[in-house]
Chains A and B, each alone.
Chain A
Amino acid sequence: DAKTTQPPSMDCAEGRAANLPCNHSTISGNEYVYWYRQIHSQGPQYIIHGLKNNETNEMASLIITEDRKSSTLILPHATLRDTAVYYCIVLLDSNYQLIWGAGTKLIIKP
């Protein structure tokens, strides 16, 4: 079973910041939080990952709460091409498997 829960869908206006929440209350100390997205009929695209500290790269920022039980992916200036299903995943430290939940379908509206 997936170790994460996400809202099934979200809308965001083009040009605004998209904030995607994720709960992972059962995460263990050495398990990473990964974010991928999948545009229809394509393979998943890596976005960002983190362990404890907040992370930022050219695509997004990842904010992890101090207790690590939840995180938020931030797309700072959403474009129409950011419309996709976004998956928040915990990487199991025992076997490096990614267990996928249902994800959040993010729709960017003009």
Chain B
Amino acid sequence: GAVVSQHPSWVICKSGTSVKIECRSLDFQATTMFWYRQFPKQSLMLMATSNEGSKATYEQGVEKDKFLINHASLTLSTLTVTSAHPEDSSFYICSASGLQGIEQFFGPGTRLTVL
């Protein structure tokens, strides 16, 4: 299957700082990318859907000004957690799908710890 990478794999930051997470599709063009958040022992929660070149669509309850998503190219999407606080500590996972949109390929995830 197609490969999706995320960077960094894990990050620790101070409260109040911003953190950027990158999601790359390595061998295909991702027209749509999805960002998920997963708290310990819970399932994945969809945060937002982004299509290349357009604004992301956020799920209810997700603050778009806090979680900035940029999908500027067909192989890269970024999620910036602005002014991070301890409650933002979580496992962030991206997925990408190609032109047909049916199959999603997942990245390995980024573990964010906010002190």
Footprint of B on A, CB under 8 Å? 2, 32, 36, 41-46, 49, 87, 91, 95-103
B interface, by DSSP: helix, strand, loop or mixed? strand
- Whether the Cβ atoms of A45 and B106 lie closer than 8 Å is yes
Q: Considering only CB atoms and an 8 Å cut-off, how many residues of chain B contact the other chain?
A: 25
A interface, by DSSP: helix, strand, loop or mixed? loop
Complex CA distance for A36 and B104, rounded to whole angstroms = 10
- Apart from A43-B4, A43-B108, A46-B103: 9 A-B pairs, beta carbons within 8 A: A2-B43, A43-B107, A87-B44, A91-B102, A98-B34, A98-B104, A100-B36, A100-B44, A100-B45
Sort A-B residue pairs by CB-CB distance and give the 3 closest, nearest first.
A43-B106, A96-B101, A100-B44
B91 within 8 A of A: yes
- Whether the Cβ atoms of B43 and A100 lie closer than 8 Å is yes
Residues of B within 8 A of A103 (CB): 43
Complex CA distance for A41 and B109, rounded to whole angstroms = 8
B32 within 8 A of A: yes
- Whether the Cβ atoms of B109 and A99 lie closer than 8 Å is no
